[in-house]
Amino acid sequence: MTDIQFQPGAIDAQGCVANAWNVVTNKFWLYIGVGLVTIILIGFIPIASIFLMGPAMGGFYYLVLRDMRGEPVEFRMMFKGFEKFIPLMVAGIVQSIPGIIYQAIQYATDIAHLADPSSDSGSSNFFQADTTAAAVGGLSLIVVIGFAFLAAVWNLMFMFAIPLIVENDIGVTDALKASINAAVENVWGLILLILIGIGVLLLGLMALCVGVFVAVPVVYAANAFAYRMVFPLGRTEFDAPYTTYGSGE
């Protein structure tokens, strides 16, 4: 296994978001376009999105990481992730396993309802039906909350796998292991970053939903900054406080 060094407790969540905002607004239309295409690839193509998630996000990370270094960036670079299609696809599938399971359960439930329409009909015993529905509803809520928690932990553990593959000549297994190790040592910073990211997305939704097209690239770019803080390049300009990004431009 390639020995990839990482920094424990390195994530400044607020700095990640602040710098992500600077990155996106400095090249506003580029990131709006790249973000929109990324959203379409990973969220609006049935079945295929499962396989496109890794390469699409890999391309987004590639572009942001170049931008951090002050290197030229352009729209077509978002497809660089497809140059490592297989490893990024596998990493993306692994990271998406909770979502895949949820979709499979949802499809199975829909098929069951179609196969047995009588399951939705009223019961002759109203009070028994009401009690049963309440019990099932309460149990379902507990299951949903528990599943959401496990899905969040799963996603957090593998958050760095895709950018690790983009930047390094390593296999999927090594990238997943390195991501888990780094995430465990930076768990509180990642949790705070996720919570702030949710807040950014909610603000985007409140802005007549149009703000989502800005919020999503900001969240993705913030994750890229978190990755760079945890896996620095070992050059002084990247060891400086990230909140200074773009301040001199």
Q: By CB neighbour count within 10 A (0-12 exposed, 13-18 middle, 19+ buried), where does 5 fall?
A: exposed
Domain boundaries, the chain: 13-117+148-242
Ranges of H-type helices in 9-125: 13-26, 28-43, 48-68, 85-95, 97-115
| pTM of the shown model | 0.83
Classify residue 42 by burial, with Cβ atoms within 10 Å: 0-12, 13-18, 19+. Answer: buried
Who's near 176: CB < 8 A, 6+ residues apart?
91, 94, 158, 161
Q: List the chain pLDDT tens, one digit each, 249 residues.
A: 557 889 999 999 999 999 999 999 999 999 999 999 999 999 888 889 999 999 999 999 999 999 999 999 999 999 999 999 999 999 999 999 988 888 788 777 778 777 765 555 444 454 555 566 566 666 667 877 877 888 888 999 999 999 999 999 999 999 999 999 999 999 999 999 999 999 999 998 888 777 889 999 999 999 999 999 999 985 433 333 444 444 433
Burial of residue 179, with CB atoms counted within 10 A of its CB: 0-12 exposed, 13-18 middle, 19 or more buried: buried
Alpha-carbon separation of residue 7 from 49, 61, 119, 181, 200 (angstroms): 32, 19, 54, 10, 26
